[in-house]
């Protein structure tokens, strides 16, 4: 099982970016999917989280600006980021709880990070 993230880049303050993360491999089911970020010198923190039924939660710092969504048929999670601020600059990581075929339980997987830089 692999998670592949796309969509990072450089954007000016106030701009928008959309991140995508695709899970691939021998996947039976995916429960929770989410995005985390880690800024230089800081700990990794949860940005947003969505479960298979669609319930979401967000870090207070991104509420009203970021939207997480998922396409279960494509095993993909998205993060739409609007009104970006310089403090959103970080490496963004996707995360998912995935149950593989022939596995008794799910396991947590991480994707590679994608850099988001917000700067004028």
pLDDT in tens, 70-94: 999 999 999 999 999 999 999 999 9
Residues in the chain, how many?
120
SS3 assignment, position 61? helix
Spatial distance between the Cα atoms of 60 and 46, rounded to a whole number of angstroms = 10
Q: Per residue in 20-73, pLDDT tens? A: 999 999 999 999 999 999 999 999 999 999 998 889 999 999 999 999 999 999
Cα end-to-end span (Å), the chain: 38
């Amino acid at each position: 099982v692999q998670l592949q993230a796309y969509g990072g880049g450089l954007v000016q303050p106030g701009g928008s970016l959309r991140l995508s993360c695709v899970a691939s491999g021998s996947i039976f089911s995916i429960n929770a999917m989410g995005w985390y970020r880690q800024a230089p010198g800081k700990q990794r923190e949860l940005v947003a989280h969505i479960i298979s039924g669609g319930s979401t939660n967000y870090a207070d710092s991104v509420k009203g600006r970021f939207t997480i969504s998922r396409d279960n048929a494509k095993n993909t999670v998205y993060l739409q980021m609007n009104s970006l601020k310089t403090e959103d600059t970080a490496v963004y990581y996707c995360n998912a709880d995935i149950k593989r075929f022939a596995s008794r339980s799910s396991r947590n997987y991480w994707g590679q990070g994608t850099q988001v830089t917000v700067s004028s």
